[in-house]
Structure 1
Amino acid sequence: MKAALLTDIETLSVAEVAKPVPAAGELLIRVKLAGICGSDSSLFRGKCNVPFPVIPGHECVGVVEEINAPGSRFVVGQRVVIQPNLACGTCTMCLKGLKNVCRSKVRLGIDRNGVFAEYVTVPQSYVWNIPDGLPDEVAVFAEPLAVARHGLDFAVPKKNDRVLVFGAGVIGQLVLQLALLTTRNIVACDLSDSRLELATQSGARSVKGCERLSDDCQAGFEIVFETSGSPAALSQAIDLVAPGGTIVLFGLPAAGHEIRSDVIVRKEIRILGSIIYVDEFPTVIELLANGRIATAPLISDTIDLEGLAENLHNFYQPNRIKTLVRIENR
């Protein structure tokens, strides 16, 4: 099969490799459309500390091609999306229902070959059927939308809550749209004019740079969703959140920073971390199928597999939201 093979740091090429064979309990998925994520960029730049070679990619929509699981709930030809973080299911964290922080978690596209290829194998328990009427270009957002939805489960905005979405990349845009389902009082903050324009079109009041939020800071925000990963973001969020408010952290900064515990205590702030997802996929597939989330404005570009290396080289472009990769051209 054809696949994008990462053989060293920033060394990726399209090559012919062996088509994978599904192990017991697995499905062979023919990949149709994939999405590029920030973790793909981190892997490309050598920040994930995993052995090469590997086929990257973990966001995709595809078709069941082969089933190696007697009595499977799937049939050949079904369109599906993949939940790409594979927990062990037996450790203490998994038994507590915290599969997202399983210490033995296997990450598709990092620890095992991923979806930037014509075929991928996945355990059937991590595959989800999608409705016939749900377009591929919408269904491919199931994974990042699950990330966003998991974080909102920690702090669902009430009707009159003031909400700040810090960072207007793809996760920020999806968090914004989810928050808009329950409140209209939302501010989006970013340094990119095009991302702020998109947030404004979605219904937020957008601000370029959080230093311009002094007026709102007087009362503060009941909820701050930090999606940027900026090293200064947490400190700014602590300033901007209202007393008794909640900060939900999605972003992973490259380096740690001091925590202003005195302000946290005096304002009685809750700070929560949110990493990937647990069981949000059925919910987000329904949201996408019902048209509750607008994905078309989030697509910056659609490329072929041959354009992946150049796209990863230029990943940090301010106009980028989500780039899709067309794997199957038929």
Structure 2
Amino acid sequence: MKAAVIKKAGHIQIENVAAPVPGVGEIRVAVRLGGICGSDNSMFHGKLPAPFPLIPGHEAIGTVESMGEQVSGFKVGQRVTVHPNYFCGECDLCKQGLTNICRSKIRLGVDINGVFADFVVVPAKALYPVPDDLADEVAVLAEPLAVSLHGVKQGNIASTDNVLIFGAGVVGQLALQLALQHTANVTNCDLVASRLELARKMGAKKVISDPEELASCQGSFDVVFETSGAPSGLEQCINLAAPGGRIVLLGLPGQSYPVPTVSIVRKELTIKGSMIYTTEIPESLELLAKGVINTRALVSNVIKLEDLQATLEGFSAPERMKTLVKIS
């Protein structure tokens, strides 16, 4: 099969490699469309450790091509999407429902070969059927939507809450749309004008790009979702949160940094981390099928597998949102 292989940090090679064979309880998926995530970029640049050589990618839509023994509930040709974080189901965290932080979690496209190839082998329990009337280009965003959905749930938004989405990338734009299902009082902030214009079109009541204007909003927001992963993001969110406010961290900064703990105590803030998702992918597919989430506006471009290297080299371009990779 054809596959994109990261040979070493900063270098991808398109190769013909042996197609994986499904084992017991596994399905081989013919990949149709993938999505590039920030973690793919971090791995490509050597910021996220991975066992190179490796086929990256974890967001995908494909069809069932063949099945190993002891697989039921699927048929050849059926469209599916992937839950790319394999949890053990047996550890204490999994038994509490915290499968997203399983002690033995295996990450598709990070720990093992991923979806930027003609085929990928996936445990049947990690696959979800895609509704027949849901286009590949929409369904492929079910996984990042699940990330935002899990995070927004942590915020427990009330209809009277004043909400801030800190960052207007893909996760921020999806969180914005989800938050608007709970309250009309949603503000989005970012430094990139084009992203804020998109947030406005998505329904944000207010958008802010000017740091001084943002600073004037200190203490204004009941719920703040930090989606940027910027080094100073948490500190700014603490300052922007209202007394008794809630902050949910979805972004992953490259390193830890000091925070104003005095403000956390004096304002009695609640700060929660939100790591990927647990059971949200089926719910994401349902939301997409209902047409209540606009994903098409988030897709910047669709590339060929051969263009993956150049795309990751220019990944930080501010006008870029979601890039899809056409496999077949």
- Whether the aligned pair in 2 keeps the contact of 1:173 and 1:199 (CA below 8 Å) is yes
- Root-mean-square deviation (Å): 1.0
- Whether the aligned pair in 2 keeps the contact of 1:189 and 1:210 (CA below 8 Å) is no
- Please tell me the residue identity of whatever aligns with 1:14: I
Provide the C-alpha distance between the structure 2 equivalents of 1:278 and 1:303, rounded to a whole number of angstroms: 30
- Please tell me the residue identity of whatever aligns with 1:74: F
SS in 1 for 2:156: coil
| Paired residues for 1:1-330 under 5 Å | 1-70=1-70, 72-204=72-204, 205-217=206-218, 220-328=220-328
SS in 1 for 2:154: coil
Once the two structures are superposed, residues 299-322 of structure 1 have per-residue CA deviations (whole angstroms, 9 ceiling, x without a partner) of 001000000000001100100110
Provide the C-alpha distance between the structure 2 equivalents of 1:209 and 1:249, rounded to a whole number of angstroms: 22
Provide the C-alpha distance between the structure 2 equivalents of 1:7 and 1:49, rounded to a whole number of angstroms: 13
CA shift at 1:213, angstroms? 2.2
SS in 1 for 2:200: helix
Residues 209 and 274 of structure 1: CA distance in aligned 2, closer, same or farther (over 3 Å) = farther
Provide the C-alpha distance between the structure 2 equivalents of 1:74 and 1:131, rounded to a whole number of angstroms: 13
CA shift at 1:254, angstroms? 1.3
CA shift at 1:17, angstroms? 0.4
Q: TM-score, normalised by structure 2?
A: 0.98
Deviating beyond 4 angstroms after TM superposition, the runs of 4 or more aligned structure 1 residues are none
CA shift at 1:79, angstroms? 0.4
CA shift at 1:156, angstroms? 3.0
Stretches of structure 1 lacking an aligned partner (at least 5 in a row): none
CA shift at 1:38, angstroms? 0.3
Provide the C-alpha distance between the structure 2 equivalents of 1:226 and 1:148, rounded to a whole number of angstroms: 11
- Please tell me the residue identity of whatever aligns with 2:207: S
Once the two structures are superposed, residues 118-151 of structure 1 have per-residue CA deviations (whole angstroms, 9 ceiling, x without a partner) of 1000001110001100000000000000000011
CA shift at 1:276, angstroms? 0.5
In the alignment of these two chains, the number of paired residues is 327
Provide the C-alpha distance between the structure 2 equivalents of 1:151 and 1:71, rounded to a whole number of angstroms: 32
CA shift at 1:216, angstroms? 3.1
Provide the C-alpha distance between the structure 1 equivalents of 2:325 and 2:215, rounded to a whole number of angstroms: 41
CA shift at 1:222, angstroms? 0.5
- Whether the aligned pair in 2 keeps the contact of 1:114 and 1:120 (CA below 8 Å) is yes
- Whether the aligned pair in 2 keeps the contact of 1:156 and 1:179 (CA below 8 Å) is no
Once the two structures are superposed, residues 195-241 of structure 1 have per-residue CA deviations (whole angstroms, 9 ceiling, x without a partner) of 01100111111110443124433x51000000001111111101100
Q: TM-score, normalised by structure 1?
A: 0.97
CA shift at 1:48, angstroms? 2.0
CA shift at 1:158, angstroms? 1.6
- Please tell me the residue identity of whatever aligns with 1:162: N
Provide the C-alpha distance between the structure 1 equivalents of 2:251 and 2:154, rounded to a whole number of angstroms: 15
Once the two structures are superposed, residues 169-209 of structure 1 have per-residue CA deviations (whole angstroms, 9 ceiling, x without a partner) of 00000000100111111110001111011001111111104
Provide the C-alpha distance between the structure 2 equivalents of 1:282 and 1:13, rounded to a whole number of angstroms: 34
Identity over aligned residues, as a percent?
Answer: 52
CA shift at 1:71, angstroms? 5.1
Provide the C-alpha distance between the structure 1 equivalents of 2:21 and 2:71, rounded to a whole number of angstroms: 19
